[in-house]
Each structure stands twice: as structure tokens, then as C-alpha cells.
Structure 1
């Protein structure tokens, strides 16, 4: 059989073949044409030499086209396989999405009723794909998939070169519905994959959460609020979770330019160990690091400040002590305050052990002021330990339950005291929601709705934390 007859018969077979995506048949056509090409090349070798080299060029181009068609078919098989898998799961995803929406609606109604708010308007719920009677799920018309725009020209190229003229016309109908269906499924997956915000305990979709270095997730509002609070409360600086700083880049897409600049300025201020501030009480602008000779001009009120003693410029004499500082030191000694050895802030111990952590993150002993673990002072006082245990259990019970369950309250306080004797110097990242109002241990504010509690041991509260809700 000659090469021409092989090609002719192949094309005749293609004419009678179904014009669907019969990739196996098309692969067979290309294989036969490659074999025919090899036969033609072998036949030409026995003929007279063609100095023009035109024959070799034609064969090379033809072989390259056939190989490109073969790769196109292989890619199309993979794409169709993935497409079929998505179609098979589309109904399940849509059904789960609908159930999630209903559950979310129920939660919103419950919260609104418990807080006495107006019931929110119901949003349209996604409907599952229709199923023919007596059959399992089949892709609906809107989810029927066709080759993508990238695949269409390649299919047409195969038809032009290898198949019959009848198969050269290809319809692009359905491409829009294919893309829309894919987008719908991606959205469904994003809504199904939920993460719990570590601050407000709300479940949010994967596209509405930010994962921080420690592995926890924040919703956008809580992450922004954390960074805004850090600019006002230095104890929260740098913004962190589980003692690991949260990079500003994670929150920058959700902050305004002004908010990001303010946070960065406060971060620089926090990282400066020996700070210099304007001594004018009506200004108090941060002026950078103190120490060294010379003066610096306040950028806000234009006064000149001595970098050595942190007072107003005094060109006629040496630095003199501030009598206001001496008065404050005397008050601190009388009241039992301690001073941070790093930033020199005064601190007061309300309850707990003598291990102090300053807002500048320095750790020191409250009794002697030395850096923590460098002295031989005792680590706690029994009365303060009892106060700490009572505060913990009170936060766990809530005030109404404490009055109603006095024996159980006392028992839990005794358990908390025993636990704190062994674990007074530890911290735990496990948080639990507790409904009802109480005072926050950190800021003292009364929170009327709920508290988040950190557990040191099963049933024992080691810290009460405030949220901004």
C-alpha cells in the first residue's frame, strides 16, 4: 500500500467517524500519518540526490506539525479528565454550599435574637442543581463543560490537517457557561473551607481569612482592629499572635495608607530602647533615640531638647536632675512600685507572681527590679496567689454563678491555687468563649457581652482576655 493510499483511507475513516471528542481515533490517525511519513522518507533515500534539500524541509515541517497535534491531544485528554471530575463533584459542592448558607443564616438569627437586634434580611440561598427523576446527580446545562478557548484553536488545527473538511467547523458555544461554572465551583469551595477567627471565634471563608505565622487565622476586621489597637496600646506592639509578630504586609491590603504609616511609625518607636520625647506636656512627640551630646529640635513644637538629660535645651550649664523625677521616685518607693530596668517605666503588681513583663517586653523581678531569673527572690506571695486564683475562677464562673454555687467556687479556687504554685510562670494559647459580662484582667474594662478565656489546665482559667466586640 502506498503512502498516498494510507492517507486517503485515513481521511475517509475520519469522514465517517463521529465528530465528537474521539481523541483515541485522532491519535490513531496521527500515528498512521507518522508511519506513512517514515515510509516516504525511506523511499526517497533510494532516489537521486536533491541538492535543493526541499524534500527534507517539507518532511521536517510535516513531522513537527504531527508531533504538535499529538501533544495537543494529550493535553486535551488531561483537561477533559479534570473537567469531568469537576462536573462529577459540582452537585455535591452546590448542596454543601446551600447547607452552609442555611446554617450561617440560623446563626445570624440566633445572635440577633440574643442581643435584641433587628432580624437581618434573608439573602437568596443558592439552589442545588436539578436532578432528573429517578437518577443521581448529572451536570446541569449551566455546568456543561466544553473545551476552553485555548483548546479550541488546537482542535481546529488537527481537523484542518488530519481530518475531513467537514470537521473543520467547530462551535464555541458553551465556553462562557464553562467559565461561569468553574467560577461558581471555586466560589463554592472557598465558602465551604472555613477557618475560625482566633479573636471573635467566627467561622469565615478561606477568602475572608488571613493566616498568621503561628498558624491561627484572623478575619479581616479583627486583624485590622489588632493593628489599630497596637498603635494606641504599646502592650500590643508589635501586633502578634502566640508571641510571634504578625508582619505588616499581611494586614497592609486591609489598612488605609494612613493607618499603615501610623503603625509603622509606632513600630519604630517601640523598637527604640532609650527613647527621647519632647518634654513639653502639651506635645510629647517622639524624637528618636536619646543619649549622646547635643540637642534635637522637636518637629511638632520646634523647641530644642537635650539628648542627654531629655530636658529643654540649657546652653549655659550642665545637665541638672529633674526634681519632678525625684518626687515620682519617692512616691514609687512609698507605694511599692517597681521600675523596668530597660525602659524605666513604673509598674504596679495587682495580683499574681513577681515575674513582670513590661510593655517593652523586658522581664524582671518585681521585688528587686533585676532581670528575671538573675536574682534569688521568692517568686510569689501566698496572698497574691490566692487573689490571682479567685480572679481566674471568678472569670470562669461569672458573677451570678459564683453567688449561686459557693461550695463549688471555693473548691475550684483551691484547685487553681495548687495549679498556680507549679505553673505560675507559664502561658497557654488555648482560648474559650464565655458568654456574659465581667471585667477584663488586662485593662479592667467591663465587657457586657462575653469574654475569651485562656486555660492553663482543664477547668482552670489562667487569663481573661478582652476583645473589641
Structure 2
């Protein structure tokens, strides 16, 4: 059976119909032969039935292969970008360690090729980031190190980390316009802290925020998970009324919604 020029849905429908037809033929031929004996027609039906099942399996495998290929095509670029960022972070850390040991940073042609900035601009940006991380490793006595004041850039970087950590915990410390200007955020802050900071930035910038009404959850619910004034919690699965901030009212109107309608009348 040639099926390369048939789309997947049509092919599965054709195979299923033929399989059902064979079952009908098999049922209609029952009782026409002795028990334990098979006619040539019965053998032909069984052989064709086996062929159809094989074709159905091949069609299913083809659909799966197409789905995998499509997913790879859509997500391949994103995966490549993420992998490139991971490699760049590893190279930056290696360069920071080399600089802290008194070594020199060699120009990385791969970095220049993958970035959309000129080489000189990339080097200046990288050096400015590494400068804030630099700690001298010259041979000093322990007492001298304890008595020596830390550099202003290192103190500033430590303050940036503390500010970001505090901003995640307290809304009044959150200032997107200030914290977003840190030139060394990706090097000084951990990926976990950056993720928490970005999540809190979305939360604190949302007016009339909605949180899960379940006392043991109380998770912030972004607007993307709110539909028809009902907020769905991705953490526990509970549904919260956006108007009264309590549990959803099923098929009943929210009391606050009724009061709002009365105030307009």
C-alpha cells in the first residue's frame, strides 16, 4: 500500500476503515467452515489484517517523528542561545579567575563572532565587569590583609548583591530602574537570585495583585493565569476570585461584584 502522498489524518482514517471492514468480513464468515479449519479467505483476511496493523504502527511512528522534528525546529534556536549563554558564563568566570591570579585575558574570537557588538566594546564591557570582581592575590601577611580596607568596587558589588536580596524580600526595596543598571548583575548574582528578583519585579509592578486564597499557599498569580475574574494558582491548583480575593463562587455572582453593579445603578 503506497501512502507517502497521503496526509497523516487521512491515512489513519483509511487504515481504520479497512480494518473495520475486515472485521465485518470475518464476522460474516463465521460458521461456514468446520471448527479448527480455515478457508483460503480466512487466511487472506488474517494476512491483510496483520498488514494493516503494521501500516497503522508505521503511520503512528511517522507522526511521532514529524512531531519531534517540528519541536526541534522550533526550539533548536532557543536551546542554542541558552547553551551559548552557559558557555559565555563559563568563559567569563575563567577569565575572572585568571585576572585575579595576575594573568592576562586573551582575546576570544568566538566571543566576538557570537556577539552583536564590536570587539573593543565587548572587551571594555568585560573588563569593567571583571574589575568589580578583582581581588588582589599578592603575597601579604594575614595581619596586613585584615588591616587593609576592601576596594570600593568590591564593596559596591557586595552592596549590589545585598540590595537585590533585600529587594526580593521587601517590596519597598524594589526599584527596577536602579537595580537594572547594574553592569555586573549576571556575574555577581546567582541564577537563583536573578530568577527570584525578576519574578518579584513582575509581582510588585502589578496593580491590584491577586494571591492564592489558600492560607498555606498565598502564591502570587500573574495576569496570564486570570480569566473571567478567576485566578488559577499554578502551585496548588486552587481558584481565587479576583474581586473579593476569596475562593471562586462557582455559578454564583461575587458579592463585591454585586455591590459594584449597585453603585453604578
TMscore range, shorter length: 0.3 to 0.5
Larger radius of gyration between Structure 1 and Structure 2: 1
> Which of the two has greater helix per residue?
2
**So what's the TM-score if we normalise by structure 2?**
0.37
